[in-house]
Structure 1
Amino acid sequence: MAAAYELKVDAGEVRRDDAQVALAAKFDALHESLASLPPGPVRTDDPTESS
């Protein structure tokens, strides 16, 4: 996300904002944390079906 934000800044599409830079870095860290988790169980039931 930070890289995409920097591309937009470099292209003049947006102005750099320190709060947005910090948030983009947090989103990148969250993505890395979630991507490193093992996959969860696969549900085989349909939660939209009523019994």
Structure 2
Amino acid sequence: MQKRRRRELGGNPEEASTLTYFQAQITGCQSMFFFTFIMIQSLCIYCKQQVFLPAVT
């Protein structure tokens, strides 16, 4: 009886844990992609400054 009531209240505990795990994985991938994107962008800006500024002056 207690197990059935718990399952009705909170859903499947295994399912919930896997859902949160996948959400954590997705957010981790997104943050890593965002970080690498910012790094590449800043590198490109740095390289452009190094290449174009001496040519302009």
Would you say same fold, with TM above 0.5? Answer: no
Q: Greater RCO between the two (CA within 8 Å, min separation 6)?
A: 1
Larger helix fraction of residues: 2
TM-score by length of 1: 0.43
TM-score by length of 2: 0.39
Which structure is larger by alpha-carbon Rg, 1 or 2? 2
